[in-house]
Structure 1
Amino acid sequence: MLKSEKYPHLLVNTKAAQFKESDEGGLNLGQVAAVLRRRILLIIGITGLVATAAVLKAETDPPVYQGTFDILTKPVTGESKVIADVPQAINSQDGVSTDSKNSIATTIAVLQSPRVLNPIIEKLQSKYPDLTYKSLLAGLSIQSTAKSSEIIEIQYIDEDQQQVIDVSKLLADAYLKYSLEERQSDVDQAISFVNQQRKPLDERVKYWQNQLRNLRWENSLIDPAQKSQELSEQIAAFRQQQITNRVDLEQLVARYNDLQKELAQQPGERAGNSLLTENVRYQNILTQIQETEIETRQRAAVLTDDNPLMETLRQRKAYLLPLLAEEEMRVQKDFQSRIQSLIARDKSLSDKIKNLNNEMRALATISRNHDNIQRELQIANNGLTQFTTKQQALQIEKAQKQQPWLLLDPKLATVNNPNPVSNSAKLNLALGSILGLLLGVGAALVVDKLSDIFYTAQELKDTTRLPLLGIVPLRKELEPVTETNLSREFQQPNRASFFEVFRSLYTNILLLGSDTPIRSLVISSPGQGDGKSTIAIQLAQAASAMGQRVLLVDANLRSPSLHNRVGLMNVQGLTDIISQDLDWHNVIERSPLEENLFVMTAGPIPPDSVRLLASQKMQDLMNELQGDFDLVIYDTPPLLGFADAYLLAANTNGIVLVAGLGKLKRTAMQQVLEEIQVSGTPLLGMIANKSKEGTPVSHHYYQQYYKQSVSAERVGSVVEVENNYSALRRMRRP
């Protein structure tokens, strides 16, 4: 029998069995989203409760009074019209508080500062002793209006109506006084600053003007960019000529080489030559030679070699052959001359391009210096122009003494008669909803943490750090198959695809015993309701469908249930075999689910199941079963509180632990792993059952494959291939 010492890598290691919180590596957004989905009702309840409380508070709070007045920060006065067309004037920039969003925010911060508000508090301290800077600032609101950024709206809210009137009036006076003092001090400071900055700017402009003049005079140029463009155009033109010349040279050299090959042929073979046919003189001589040869052959049929006419023909051919050779030599020299001419032209173009490139490189340095000088000169000119314009504008503006800001309601009608304002129920509803949502999310996370339950396979894997053999989704398709729907198993894509989950699971278990095959295992779980019996049946069915001879043993002698799930009678079983020495061959039954699947029911419930399972007869029976079947699967009671599974696992290849997601507590899993570690029981891995995380990826790909190409016959072919593969593995076993 295969003992656990043959699988030392499967024993639970102390470090591997230690629990580790899933959030040690950082925030897992996927797990947080899953928690929020599970606790959505709690979140909605808390959000609704807080929002309702906020609305009720808004309805029951006493009314408050609000005083409002607007200030125009850019009044249209005769003075402003005079300087309206003068750029760089202070008033030409929409006032000190409205030239940009940043300046508006700065002005509002100043208006809310103790420097402006403390004098108001001192005046009203005797009448309103409870008035402080913090209380005044809490009821004060300053912001630009939506209609125009040049108008600032000031609001003061308090429960005392008279206090609203007094504070609002003093605020209006204080803000107008602040604007006048601020404007006068700004003008004086600006004039002093402009005068200080003009002198160094004048010197910078003169310096860079001299630098630009010297650079142009030393290099005899006006515009480096124009000169660079001219050189670039020349280089481009010469390069184009060089490319054209090289193309002509390559073509001419190729033709010359072809000519040399053709001249190596016999004169009679050159009649169809593409190069020599272009030479008329050559073709004429060649034609005469060919005609002479033809005539010689014709005369030779009737005349002897010493005939004068034959002698004449030979002399004619001898005369024409030197002429043909001279013409060939002349053609070769013509090609050589043209090649040399193109080579010389290419060298000349290369020299010109090289000289122009050298000139371009020198010009690049000059152009860079020229651009730097022009840039610095432009910056200096711009700065000098701005400060000169600013100086002129400030001189015009210096004479102004009018109030820069203007109250749009001089009588302060809304201040003298403040309107009661109740708290906004809509605002409280929005704020309450946001606060309630945050509290609900926090409560959901805390409650989920305190529930101490595994909800996802990833949580199980991260916490236990043990191998996860498979994930079984919570679907009705995974109910046990009966004889009525067995024939339609592969005709239904959902049923067949979920059956693939257990085929993959069995394959993963086989891979654990790559050196020595897995022949027997125990299916158990930490507690009741984890689905271990269903997993055992489906795993046995998958293994048998793949050609294995599988025996499913109901070793849960405390509460047997396998016979009901597979549709068999529990007349005789494991209890009878051990206690009455029955032949186990007469007790096992073939399952109606698969031809290769056999089932051994539990039999009558014994008074002491542990004594039976720990007996020598049980060990001998397990040895015989393992020798007769390819795979023996034992369904046992839960691990917590019972020793049954540990006794059986000691004589098998190990335990497969089934964890029911949504039910299994972390403390229970931790206790089970500690017991497994103490007992030294080999643990093959875990199966995450009842997963609600969605359809596995394998199921998705199986569905696609099924829709595209799988038919009932092809599924049968797959089963046949798997059976052949399993038979081959049995043949190779020692």
Structure 2
Amino acid sequence: MENHSSQSPSYHQNSNSVTPFLQPQPFPISEGEESDWSFLQLLSVLQRRALVIAGVTITLTTVVFVSLILNRQLPVYEGNFRLLVEPVNDDTKVVDIVKETNISKSGLDYESQIQVLKSPELMGKIVKQLQAKYPDISYNTLIKNITISRFAETKIIEVRYQSQDPNQIQVVLDQIANNYLDYSREKRQTLLQQGIQFVERQLPFIQNRVDQIQKELQTFRQKYDFVDPATQSEQVVNQITNLSEQRQIVDGKIAEVRANLSFLQEQNGKLAVLNNAILYQQLLGQVRQLDVQIATESTRLQDNNPAIQTLKQKRKSLLPLLKNEEQRFLGTKIAEVTTQLQTLEVQSQELAKVERKIELQRKQWPILARQYTELQRKLQVATESLNRFLSTRENLQIQKSQTELGWQLLEAPSKPKVPISDSSIKRYLIPGLIASIALGIGVALLQEKLDNTYHSVEILKGKVNLPLLGNIPFEKQVESIQDRISRRRFSIARILNPILKGVPGFAHQVHSNYSAKFLEALRVLYTNVQFLSSERPIASIIISSAMPGDGKSTIAFHLAQVATGMGQRVLLVDADLRQPKIHTLSGLNNLSGLSNLISTNLPTSEVIRQLPSMNQLSVITSGPIPSDPTKLLSSEKMKQLMIDFHNAFDLVIYDSPPILGLADTSLLAPYTDGILLVVKLDKTDSSMMQETLDHLRFSQMNALGMVSNGYKSNVNSY
């Protein structure tokens, strides 16, 4: 069995072997030509500069509107009133039930009614009454300024009248409203008494039928404990399915435990288990050491020599102890597996019993559900019939009470106080609004041209000819203060590690408080880095950036955690001897580190430490900040250390200072597999990025690719 312990690998075993690093890749590390904006890029710019566009648009629109108000023409006023021309209760349903009542269907042809209201016969009387006060009013002028229409899809007719004299509007509308109400009283006739009598004769029989079915349904529910058969049946099926799945899982575990037990009883299994027995390995090591000593002494001494006899006596005394420890350790392991197997078998039997019991209940449900559905259908039909008759009786009674009522005036005419918008505003306001929006967009595009940062992954890929190995999304928890994160991690780990130490994979779940998209993006980045080389895996990388604050240390720290969680032996080295961050992110002290390791004879094992929350990850902090970091990083001691790190771990990650203006990264790069550049969206300056790419090209350093940081996307993860 493979044992991932927290112990650091030995450096002395492979210190003399030098593993070759990857040769520089032929990637064109320069900025690409800036292409014309696509439609999607234009939409992205408009969304990003929405506040600028809105501010310019509102300001210019306000100026245009104020200008139009100051130069407007004479105001035009408008008044209106509304009439309810049909009752709110529709009596058309009565005819469907009471066909013998000879009541014709009510329903108004609104288009025909409006033409009648505007006819010369009806309007002529109104014009004669108005001419006594306003001689200039004629039928033609009245029809020109009046608007009669149906209000939406309601039973309301709305009448509007426009004039420059608000007093005239009120007088005209009052006269029209009074004449329309008189017209409706003379024409309206209804007769609904026969329908009411028929409905009242049928109601007692329908009510008795509903009561009888309700009693039958109540008895059925009480007898069989039915609430909702469809839901209950689905719950039973789900229970059976869940029990079956649980039993299959348990059976799988049983097979796995049996396989483990068989393996333990074989010679290979015993040897594999004994590899983890500390005391056994110690005794075995002593026996082997004695064998070596006996063989060595036998070359120069005879077998009867007291020294050889003493060594053989010691070896003979250790053999029973070795045998007893082997039997004790194997017996303990076999007993544990046997107990686990018995527990799983009992659990499988209990699940099978419960599954059979629920299956018997499920077979009874179809018959009961059919009876229940039939009772519900009968009750629904009877209830709908009863409700229909009750509603019809209520409608008929309301209509009967309104037999002598005509149209109702819902909104009386009033004198308008505020003029409607004049023609000048309508003519120029919309073009002014369009021009304001266009100018706002122009200002936004100008701002975008003057902005030198990368705003999206597409822009970054289009301008920088480096492989984009990952897009790390924006994570609020990463933005919080790092010392608070480290304290929280340390306290949680200190409490939970003793409790959950035996839980498989617990060390890999400490960083699960981050979002799934953030962690998955780091896994994708790690996988893409490993795919860069087809000959052998990437074993050492430098994570750097063009500018400070791009998030290189954060990505290096979390990438190391992800690689460790995927089974790699990872060493994270804080090679930023100017502004180190790894000790803050990891919650470790920085009393000793890389600077001490280079400048003194301090053993490497005393500098390598493990995280409190993930003891499989090895970390070397920067140590005290030296006066001349470049001198330390360019030393032969540093070169040898990097070779030792490379040989002792599966992956070594160096967090180095920004490339531009500093020689630190250039000194480390030749002894690694390459550099991974971190670019932070909306922050990294493209001109500084260009200088960094030029420096990489002239220095012939191996650039593996780049990773975007702070990527914001609304797409849901899978």
TM-score normalized by structure 2? 0.45
Q: Which structure has the bigger radius of gyration?
A: 1
Q: TM-score, normalised by structure 1?
A: 0.44
